[in-house]
Every structure is written in C-alpha cells, then in structure tokens.
Structure 1
C-alpha cells in the first residue's frame, strides 16, 4: 500500500538515492546468482552423465524405398502401387518398406467403413 505515497513523493520532486534501491538490487543479484548456480549444477551433471553413457552404435545404412512393389493381383495397377509407396515413404520415412498390397475383399470391413462414414453429422 506504499505505492501511491511513493508515486506522490516522486511526483512532488523528491529524489531517491541509491541506498533506497539497494534491497531491490540485492534481490536481483541473489536471483541471478541462484540461476548461475543451477546452470553450473546442470552442466556438471550433464558432463558426468556423458562420461558414463555408452557410445552410440554406428548408424545403419538407409535403404531407399522400392519404387513400386509388385502387385499381388492383376486388379491393382502399377501406378496405384507407386502412389501408395510414395505416400508411405512421405509419411513413415525411408526406413519403411511395403511387403504387400492386396485389394480389400471383406464385406465386413466395407460395412464397418460405411457405418462409420454415415455416422458423421454433415452440416
């Protein structure tokens, strides 16, 4: 509650000395010193952990994804297989590999997809 009298005193032209700011400066430097001590402690712990951490294994060579997997049946065209392979490489990365692509023949899965799509409320 001393803010208003201090503002009024400053507005009246009373000057403050450096001694009035000493507690604030001391608090500021205590906070900075504490942060510096925490930084030093974190750095020390990091160096200790790095010393006892095992060395990482050599990276494995990255295989390029196949341009197109051979279709499982005649119903899937090579263009569709190429698009699926490109989508998998874009989403999952170059480390993934397509084993097989088969057309969906189950009526249960089609019924489930149909039920799921018709359950959405379209505005």
Structure 2
C-alpha cells in the first residue's frame, strides 16, 4: 500500500515560480492593490493548479508501478496525500517494485513524503 504527499509550501512555491498568472496575482496582492477579487482569484487558480498537478503526479506514479503489479486499487486520499493506492504484487517482483518506488521517491526529491507499507494481506482485492 502506497501513500504519498507533497510538502504544501514547496508545491505553492513551485506554482508561483511556474505560473505567470499566479505570480502576477500574488505580486498585485503584496503590492497592496485594493481589489477584493485578487485573493479569491489567486486562491482559485492555486487550488485548480494543485489539483491538476497532484492528479497528474498520482497517475504517473501508478503508471510507473503498474507493470510490476498484478493489479492496483486506488482509494480516496485524505489530508495532504495525493496518492493512496494498493498494489497486488507477486512476491517474485516485490524487490523490483520496492526499488522502483524508491527510485521514484528519489527522483521527485525531499519535498515528498512516501509511505509504502507491506506486504499486507490482499484485503483490497477480495
């Protein structure tokens, strides 16, 4: 079972660096513009960007691990987690699966919290 979260501050910094519109809105707010719509517009933009990035990242992680598993079952995420998925992995592929997960975690860096549990009984697949 794999759960993953990204540090919220790091994600917000990333969005501000990569989104000219978010950066512009943030700069306008910090400059003291009195338009009451600016914080709402920035909040909506950031919320949409967070959701899109986390969905894409979750899909990429699942896609990378899928060839090493017989099956997978995604579950609803909670808190800061963007990924909550169980994989049914043959014992012969367990080491490769774990190594691939660790490589993904290393590739993405320290801004991520990876929690891999198992092997566990296959409750998610009954």
TM-score with structure 2 length normalisation? 0.27
The structure, 1 or 2, with the larger RCO (C-alpha pairs under 8 Å, 6+ apart) is 2
Query: Whose strand fraction is larger, Structure 1's or Structure 2's?
Result: 2
